[in-house]
Amino acid sequence: MRFLIAGFGSIGRRHFRNLLELGERDLVFYRTHRSTLPDDELHDYMVETDLEAALAHRPDAVIVANPTALHLDVAIPAARQGCHLLLEKPIAHTFEGVADLRAAVAQSGVQVLVGFQFRFHPSLRRIKRWLDEGLIGRVVHARAHWGEYLPAWHPWEDYRRSYAARPDLGGGVVLTLCHPFDYLRWLLGEVESVSAHLATLGDLDLAVEDTAEITLQFASGALAQVHLDYLQRPPNHHLEIIGTQGMIRWDNTYGTARIYHASTETWETYTPPTGFERNHMFVDELRHFRKVVRGEEPAQCTLDDGIRALAIALAAHESNRRGQRVLLEAFLSSALEGRP
């Protein structure tokens, strides 16, 4: 199987190293050489600076790992050529071109896996099982909190030049830290409406929002609050889900999930397998992607999942702009049809 990796920043480099770990060697790279990371690892590989030339190598699959605002510039031509896609999150920074991507995928019949790697976290998978089994009854409320200090992400570069900090590259905390929108949909079902307050509150000299408080209302009636920020030290990412018969807590720092059974007034703890670390999610994601490409498994996070996560993020911006709740289905339909 031949892979084309588009983009060689931190996530492109991670996918490259993980592919090598999985035994893949037929790799081609498309890059603009604007990354702040060195390219000394690529001496033995073909590197193209023109997308048409890169696609001329006829890759079976393309890993779209360039900045968010440039994803569709690669994904649409690749899909039209018949390449399967591992498309990093969020799939784009606006809806412009999303309908074209969906049409290209439908016409060519390629498979798309969107890179929300937390779907491969063993503790979140266990939580999904607990919820599917109804162990805490009917879910009424959830709270996801993710705060992380932006300058500490990539200490080798000026964080103000990174995609996460630049509006022209699709930055801002809502798009960059959009994982909770996907895993909450995965765990709790479809979102009906979005309300949000976004702000730039820190001293980081950013042209994007660094803090967000977002309320999601689900079709089930459940509510969820999502807090995101670029400011918190030390970083903290956790999830709490409250049901009529108990509650669930997940802490990304330690990787553990805990469930409280109200009927017995006892806690049960799930701990990931010994040796689990963050990169294992990305490796498992790539293992799954290879099976998706070979037709052995359906994608666990589809293009439609990616579109809906993007819709939540953009609806948060719209809610903040309007100062009112946004009905998600109407917002999504309007955006995909190109209506204001």
Other C-beta atoms closer than 10 Å to the C-beta of 152 total 12
Q: Is the pLDDT of residue 38 over 90?
A: no
Q: Is the pLDDT of residue 337 over 90?
A: no
> In sequence order, what are the beta bridge partners of 60?
none
Q: 144: phi > 0 → left, psi -120 to 50 → alpha, else beta; which? A: beta
Upstream peptide bond of 180 is cis (omega within 30 degrees of 0): no
Return the pLDDT at 131: 98
Mean pLDDT of 284-313: 98
**pLDDT tens sequence across 220-271:** 999 999 999 999 999 999 999 999 999 999 999 999 999 999 999 999 999 9
Place 39 in a pLDDT band, splitting at 50, 70 and 90.
confident
Amino acid code (one letter) for 136: I
Provide the mean pLDDT of the chain: 96
Give the span between the Cα atoms of 224 and 143, in whole angstroms: 5
Q: How far is CA 278 from CA 38, 176, 195, 284, 294, in A?
A: 23, 18, 31, 11, 26
**pLDDT tens sequence across 52-89:** 999 999 999 999 999 999 999 999 999 999 999 999 99
Least confident of 32-36, 89-93, 147-151, 176-180: 32-36
Return the pLDDT at 340: 66
Give the span between the Cα atoms of 103 and 154, in whole angstroms: 36
Return the pLDDT at 338: 82
* Chain position carrying tokens 């001496």: 43
Mean pLDDT of 330-334: 96
Place 37 in a pLDDT band, splitting at 50, 70 and 90.
low
Q: Which residues contact 17 (CB under 8 A, 6 or more apart)?
A: none
Q: Is the pLDDT of residue 339 over 90?
A: no
Q: Is the pLDDT of residue 114 over 70?
A: yes
Q: Are strands 246-251 and 236-243 parallel, antiparallel or unpaired?
A: antiparallel
Return the pLDDT at 327: 98
Mean pLDDT of 166-183: 97
